[in-house]
Amino acid sequence: MEAEMIALATASEEASWLRSLLAEIPLWERPIPAVLIHCDSTAAIAKIENRFYNGKKRQIRRKHNTIREFLSTGAVRVDHVRTENNLADPLTKGLAREKVHNTSKLMGLLPLERRSLTMVTRPN
């Protein structure tokens, strides 16, 4: 769960920076909506929704406070995504072929056609 807290804090900081960048663009709609961050850890979401962090590690407590600050200002929203629908899984761990194909389709990637592949060889 500590890794998820660190990732949520980093993503919250990046989302806040993006919102401030969008605020400087005069054609962007006002008010700027909160950035939605998906997390597949219900334990991490429950921890950040709780006002008080009762953990003993100082750096995690600071990350918790950072996320809570961004949540309270409306800069970010955190939503749960089921592990089966998590699009980041193929990027972080090895998966079965079918899971890679399914998440690739959800990402909007086109399937690789075997017949379109040609072998390129170097002349000797």
List, for residues 32-71, the tens digit of each pLDDT value: 889 999 888 888 888 888 877 777 777 888 888 889 999 9
Do the Cβ atoms of 40 and 85 come closer than 8 Å? no
- How far from chain centre, in Å, is Cα 17? 15
**In 10 A of CB 44, how many CB atoms?**
22
Confidence of residue 123 (pLDDT cuts 50, 70, 90): low
Structure letter (DSSP) for residue 109: P
Q: What is the number of structural domains in the chain? A: 1
CA nearest to 51, candidates 61, 36, 41: 61
82 pLDDT tier (thresholds 50, 70, 90): confident
Dist CA 70 CA 79 (whole Å): 14
Domain extent for 27 = 2-80
Residues 9-38 pLDDT 10s: 999 999 999 998 988 888 877 888 899 998
Residue 38 counted as domain residue:
yes
Q: Grade residue 114 by pLDDT with cuts at 50, 70 and 90.
A: low
Q: What is the DSSP secondary structure assignment for residue 94, as one 8-state letter? A: -
Within a domain: 14: yes
Residue 51 belongs to some domain of the structure: yes
- Write the DSSP symbol of residue 103: H
Indicate if the alpha-carbon torsion angle 33, 35, 36, 42 is positive or negative: negative
